Amino acid sequence: MARKIVQVRVTGRVQGVGYRAFVEQEAVALNLSGWVRNRRDGSVEALFSGDESAVAAMLDACRGGPRHASVETVELIAEPSDVDGPFMVAPSL
C-alpha cells in the first residue's frame, strides 16, 4: 500500500470544542503517525502519515470534526517526506 504524508491547517470554530482530542482519537484508530496542535490564529494544524487510504479517511474526518466544531476549511499546506512515531498532541504554536 502507498504511504502518504500531509500537513493541513483547519479553520473555523476548531478551538475549545475538543477538536484536537477528536483528531488524536481518529488518527490513532486509523494507525497514523503525526501530530496536531492549536495555532495562535485560532486554527488547528496537523500532520498525518500513513497508508494513503487512512490519510484520506482522516482528512474526511477533519472536515466534519467533533459535534461542537464548525469547520470552514481543511487546507493542505505541505507534503513532508518523512514522519515516524506515534500520533501525539503537540504544544500549541
Which residues are known catalytic residues?
20, 38
DSSP-derived secondary structure for 69-83: -EEEEEEEEE--S--
Residue in the structure block whose three cell numbers are 477528536: 22
Q: Of 31, 20, 23, whose CA–CA distance to 92 is shortest?
A: 20
